[in-house]
Amino acid sequence: MRVLVVEDESVLREQLSSALIAAGFVVDQAIDGDEGLFYGHNYPCDAVVLDLGLPGKNGMELIAEWRSAGVNVPILILTARSAWQDKVAGLEAGADDYLVKPFVMQELIARLHTLIRRASGWSHNLIKCPPYELDRSAGTLAIEGVGIELTRYEYRLLEYLMLHAGEVLSKTSLTEHLYADEAQRDSNVIEVFVRRLRSKLDPDSTRLPIETVRGAGYRFVTPKQQ
Ligand code: CA
């Protein structure tokens, strides 16, 4: 899952980024409102952590611009304690949740997981596409209740595919969700991970959970159970 962090205080921005990376997110960092706006429009992400008090365009303006441009990504706003009333305005402008500084990092990560789940139409921590079951709090996969070992990248890719089960996902969008660093992105790598996932999810080639859509990308075809 890819998260955009827009925060001008460098110490907090770094703390946020390392905590999110440690929790398995891919992180983009923006140091002010203008950069945040640029990322939000050009790099699709799964959630935004947005400080309201920013140089350049402030957080409230970003929310308004994204929402009016149809960017529906879940937004978690950060507000200074002295400006707590801003959170009301932020929520009214279209933010989804807020935290008042200082906050506990685990709380922020838990809130982000909830926001992303809700935005994807999932109401709990398990993504079930029987016989596949992904436990997002533990970061594990089970097939008919039997645990399967996945590497970090395999897990990330599968999580994204299962969250969007039934949708065609381009190799480009998949690589963007796997790698923060553009220099590391190579859509050929996705083919390798898909092949490895297929052999783990479907060793006998009987279920064919991941369909290749020629010229378009991949689709997780095993239906999800709500
Ligand atoms: Ca600030």
Q: Are residues 155 and 187 in the same domain?
A: yes
Residues in the 5 Å CB sphere of ion ligand 1: 8, 51, 53
Task: Give 69-111 pLDDT, tens digit per residue.
Answer: 888 899 999 998 777 778 888 888 899 999 999 999 999 999 9
Does any domain span residue 225?
no
> Are 14 and 112 part of one and the same domain?
yes
Instruction: Name the average pLDDT for the chain.
Output: 90
Q: 216 and 175, same structural domain?
A: yes
Backbone torsions φ then ψ of 126, nearest 5 degrees: -105, 130
Give yes or no for a contact between 95 and 75, defined as CB atoms under 8 angstroms apart: yes
User: Of 119, 146, 179, at which residue does a domain stop?
Assistant: 119
Distance 50 CA to ligand 1 centre (A): 9
| Cβ atoms of 75 and 50 closer than 8 Å | yes
pLDDT at 140: 87
pLDDT of residue 55: 93
**Which pLDDT score, from 0 to 100, does residue 89 have?**
87
- The predicted-structure confidence for 20-50, as pLDDT tens digits, reads as follows 999 989 999 999 999 999 999 888 899 999 9
Rounded to the nearest angstrom, the distance between the alpha carbon of 40 and the centre of ligand 1 is 18
Q: For the domain that residue 146 is a member of, what is the CATH number?
A: 1.10.10.10
Q: How many whole angstroms from 28 Cα to the centroid of ligand 1?
A: 17
For range 145-159, the mean pLDDT:
90
Number of domains in the chain: 2
Give the Cα separation of 58 and 130 in Å (integer). 44
pLDDT of 122 over the 60 cut:
no
Query: Which are the contacts of 63, defined by CB distance < 8 A and separation ≥ 6?
Result: 50, 75, 77, 90, 93, 94, 95
d(CA 93, CA 77): 11
Asked if 131 and 86 sit in the same domain, the reply is: no
Q: What is the pLDDT of residue 70?
A: 83
Residue 14's CB is within 10 A of a number of other CB atoms, namely: 13
3-class DSSP state for residue 214? coil
- Final residue before a domain boundary, out of 119, 145, 177: 119
Ligand 1: centre distance to CA 42 (Å): 23
The CATH number covering residue 98 comes to: 3.40.50.2300
Q: How much is the pLDDT for 124?
A: 63
Residue 133 has pLDDT above 70, yes or no: yes
* Ligand 1 centroid to residue 107 C-alpha, Å: 19
Q: Using the mean position of ligand 1's atoms as its centre, give its distance from the Cα of residue 179 in Å.
A: 27
Does residue 85 share a domain with residue 12?
yes
Q: 103: CA distance to ligand 1 center in Å?
A: 14
Higher pLDDT, 122 or 166: 166
Residue 26 and residue 89 in one domain: yes
Report the SS3 class of residue 73.
coil
Ligand 1 centre distance from Cα of residue 32 (Å): 9
pLDDT in the model for residue 87: 82
Asked if residue 205 has pLDDT above 80, the reply is: yes
pLDDT at 3: 96
Do 185 and 205 sit in the same domain of this protein? Answer: yes
Domain of 189, in residue numbers: 126-220
Same domain flag for 96 and 25: yes
pLDDT of residue 169: 96
Residue 119 is predicted with a pLDDT of: 80
* CA–centroid distance, residue 7 to ligand 1 (Å): 6
The Å distance, Cα 78 to ligand 1 centre, comes to 9
Chain centre distance of CA 202:
26
DSSP 8-state code for residue 130: T
For residue 93, how far is its CA from the centre of ligand 1 (angstroms)? 18
**Is there a single domain that holds both residue 111 and residue 155?**
no
pLDDT band, very low/low/confident/very high, at 215 (cuts 50, 70, 90): very high
pLDDT of residue 69: 87
pLDDT (tens digit, 9 = 90+) per residue, 179-204?
A: 766 667 777 888 989 999 999 999 99
Q: What pLDDT, on the 0 to 100 scale, is given for residue 183?
A: 67
Q: How confident is the model at residue 121 (pLDDT cuts 50, 70, 90)?
A: low
Q: Are residues 107 and 190 in the same domain?
A: no
Tokens 């996969």, residue? 141
Residue with tokens 């109401």: 123
Provide the whole-model pTM.
0.67
Q: What is the CA radius of gyration of the chain?
A: 18
What is the distance in A from the centroid of ligand 1 to the CA of 147? 43
| Together in a domain, 163 and 201 | yes
Give the Å distance between the CA of 54 and the centre of ligand 1.
5
Distance from the CA of 73 to the center of ligand 1, in angstroms?
Answer: 21
Asked if the structure places residue 73 within a domain, the reply is yes
10 plus 56 within the same structural domain:
yes
